[in-house]
Structure formats: structure tokens, C-alpha cells
Amino acid sequence: MYRKGFQVIVSQKFWLLILVILICIGICNFFLSAQKPAKITKLSAAAPSQDFSQNKDIPENTKTASKPASPIVRPVSQSVHAVTQAAVKFGVLSCLKRIDQVASFLTAGNKSGVFIFNSLKPADQHVFSTSFELIRPDESTLYASVSFFPNNDFVYDVVEYVDKSSEELQETVFPHLKNKTMLKNNIVLLDGGKVKVFLMPAGTGCVIIKKEVIQ
């Protein structure tokens, strides 16, 4: 009887221990499952800041991303050539320094007028072309055409008429240009390297065309 009673007591304690262990496991699982959603929420909330940290410019740009970019306006001083100021108004900004340099060179010491051709939009990505009338102090007139490109290349032609023959000009004005060819029948090309001089007979005189491509 004593053994049977002892076995019953041991059996009851064993099952009671098992029950306590199961209850503890259940309680632990309950608390662990309750904490998991909070961790997921924190990670998902932190994800955007991690993405932005990869590009520091993104947070600043997101405030104005929906607005169109405002045109760049650069201040122009009064000492800048009028053609350069016109280029700014047209939206030509990539080659302003070159425009100002060439326009100032052509018109220095001369009275001048200029015609500016309309550029396609956006103007800063297309050719900016001009035509000048230049009047020297001796009242002789020249025509000059200059075209500027977004990569700072430009090409110019200067044209004038003189009351001298092509042969006389080659001997007196351009004796240093020895490389001479004929384009076809009448126009002489004097090759000065970058500068090419074309002599075209006209009446009793000759038209001088100087051309240079800068690139």
C-alpha cells in the first residue's frame, strides 16, 4: 500500500511538472509573438532613411521635384557686349565668353550693326548665328558672319570689296600666303593655316573673304 501511494504521488508530481512546463512555454510564446510586429514596424519605418542616406541630394530635391526647374539667369554687367546680352536673353549660356570675346574683337574701333538669327529651342543647345556690318574709321565697309556652337566652337567670315585686282592683292596685301590654289575658274584660295583667304574678282576690283573655323 505504501509503494502504491508513493507511486501515485510521484506520478501526480510528474504530470504537474509537465503541466507547469507547458504553461511556461505557452506564456513565452505569447510574449514573443506580441513583440514581433513592433520590430517589423520599426524596420519598415527605418527603411526610407537608409535609402536617403545613400544619396544625400535626395532629401533636398524631394521638396521641389514636382516643380519645373527655373531658368538660369546670369547677371550681365554694362561692360559686356550688346550681342552677349542679347544671347543671354535668348537663353544661350554655354558659350557666352566666346561670344563676348569675338563680338568685342570685331566691333572694336568700328561702327557696327548686327542681325541675330533666331535659334531653335532650347537655344543653348543650338547654333547662335550673327551677321555684322562693320564700318571702319575710313568709312570702308565690311560684312562679318559669326556662328557659335554650344561646345564653344565657332566659325566666322569677314567679307569686303576693294578696288584692286586679285593679282595685285596677292602681291601687296597677302605676299606671305604662298600656298595658292584655284577653287574652280576664278576664285583664288590663299591658305594661311587656320585662316583661309578667298579672292573673288568683281568688276574692276575684288571681293576678299576671310574664313576661320575655331574648334
Summarised one tens digit per residue, pLDDT across range 76-127 is 445 889 999 999 999 999 999 999 999 999 999 999 999 999 988 999 999 9
pLDDT in tens, 148-198: 999 999 999 999 999 999 999 999 999 999 899 999 999 999 999 999 999
Asked if residues 134 and 107 have their Cβ atoms less than 8 Å apart, the reply is: yes
> Would you state the pLDDT for residue 9?
52
pLDDT at residue 7 tops 80: no
Question: What residue segments make up the domains of the chain, in order of their start?
Answer: 80-156, 163-215
Residue 201 parent element (H or E)? strand 195-202
pLDDT in tens, 37-74: 433 333 333 333 333 233 333 233 333 333 333 333 34
Q: How does DSSP assign 112-148, residue by residue?
A: EEEEEPPPPSSGGGS-EEEEEEEE-TT--EEEEEEEE
| pTM of the predicted structure, to 2 decimals | 0.61
Three cell numbers at 102?
A: 569675338
Within a 10 A sphere around the Cβ of 199, how many other Cβ atoms?
24
Pairwise CA distance, residues 4 & 1, whole Å: 5
Pairwise CA distance, residues 147 & 131, whole Å: 9
> Would you state the pLDDT for residue 21?
72
pLDDT at residue 36 tops 80: no
Integer-rounded Cα Rg, in Å, for the chain is: 43
Pairwise CA distance, residues 147 & 156, whole Å: 6
Task: Output helix, strand, coil percentages for the chain, rounded to the nearest 5.
Answer: 40, 25, 35
Three cell numbers at 2?
A: 505504501
